[in-house]
Homo-oligomer: A and B are copies of this chain.
Amino acid sequence: MADLATPAATPETAVDPANWTCPAPLHDQPVVVMGHGGGGALSAELIEQVFAPAYGNPVLAALTDSAVFDLGGARLAFSTDSYVVRPLFFPGGSLGDLAVNGTVNDLAMSGARPAFLSTAFVLEEGVELEVVGRIARAIGAAARAADVTVATGDTKVVESGHGDGVYVTTAGVGLVPDGVDIRPQRARPGDAVIVSGPIGQHGVAVMSVREGLEFGVEIVSDTAPLAGLVAAMLEVTKDLHVLRDPTRGGLGASLNEIARASGTGVLLRDRAVPVPEEVANACGFLGLDPLYVANEGRLVAFVPPEHAEAVLAAMHAHPQGTGAALIGECVADHPGMVVVATGLGGTRVVDLPLGEQLPRIC
């Protein structure tokens, strides 16, 4: 695919923001490529050019982690994700943990209290029932830890060679508290940008076991449910503007989506972004940028500046937020763009990645 190799389409380009222009269209592939599932520009094109026109409705058009709507007098959040991570088990978790925490977190990113989950398995003929049982037990344990009930499910089986052991799709329903309105469009210049902990662990953990790499220290996935942390933040103020869990595409993709949805800019301070030393070393070795590596137990928050200090303190007091850090701010300059102020006094653009550096990371 020639388009994939054009210089303008590399995930990061050191350009002057003032002279930056949108890369050439990338959507001339006639077939699905791995990047269409990567949470980057190709995923966004698939949504904007295929799904949104086909479904044609304003709820989907919001393109948030979860849909929020009123039903029977209740304000609900509703979300779904398929999980195709390879391998099924990795340091710190399994596909089962991701399938619960990923959907719980998507609901929490609307400020919702997650309540009920569904699980739908697509099993490959010949996979050991013991493996299915281990995944199911991981789902049960993760659901109890996240205080959600698995309420309904389905199982299909496909012939050997048409699956990869176990795929799981979860959907979730949660209740959005009164007065909470958290969505990417609400980012405002001046907002503090806060990340809940060190980034890059999940992606590097999966990559290390997939490729048989060892980095001296075992790096474990950060997979965790974040609804409790969000509830603690909402106790400080209901006026959180944006929450996002930077999974596929990492922090870089999430911040780009927020900047584009809100028409604001994001200015990060390079040295403020918490990257564990072992993650930085592994990324250096693998040629990855930690800003684009998937996380499964972290969130990024856009918080009105007057509440930033108190929200950060509340996060530090919660087990899932001990490593929280102020990493930058929302700005009126360079709308739709994420820029990093480097330690050397320069800046670089953090563009929306094309696809995922690490396919099938979740």
Contact = CB atoms under 8 A, between A and B. Distances in A.
Interface of A: 29-38, 43, 46-47, 50-51, 54-57, 59-60, 64, 66-67, 69, 71-76, 78-84, 115-116, 118-130, 132-133, 136-137, 139-140, 143, 149-159, 161-164, 167, 169, 171, 173, 175, 359-360
Contact of A140 (B29, B43, B55, B126): B55
B80 A76 contact: no
A34 B125 contact: yes
Given A116-B67, A150-B55, A36 B81 contact: no
Q: Across chains A and B, which 7 residue pairs bring their CB atoms closest together, nearest first?
A: A72-B74, A37-B157, A171-B171, A67-B151, A54-B136, A169-B169, A80-B118
A3 B28 CA distance: 51
A149 B73 contact: no
A29 B152 CA distance: 25
A89 B197 CA distance: 47
How many identical chains are in the complex?
2
A155 B71 contact: no
5 contacts: A34-B125, A34-B157, A71-B116, A72-B74, A159-B360
Contact of A79 (B31, B118, B124, B126): B118
A132 B32 contact: yes
B59 A151 contact: yes
Contacts of A120: 80-82, 169, 171
A276 to B, nearest CB: 27
Given A126-B31, A173-B71, A360 B78 contact: no
Contact of A122 (B64, B82, B143, B149): B82
B164 A162 contact: yes
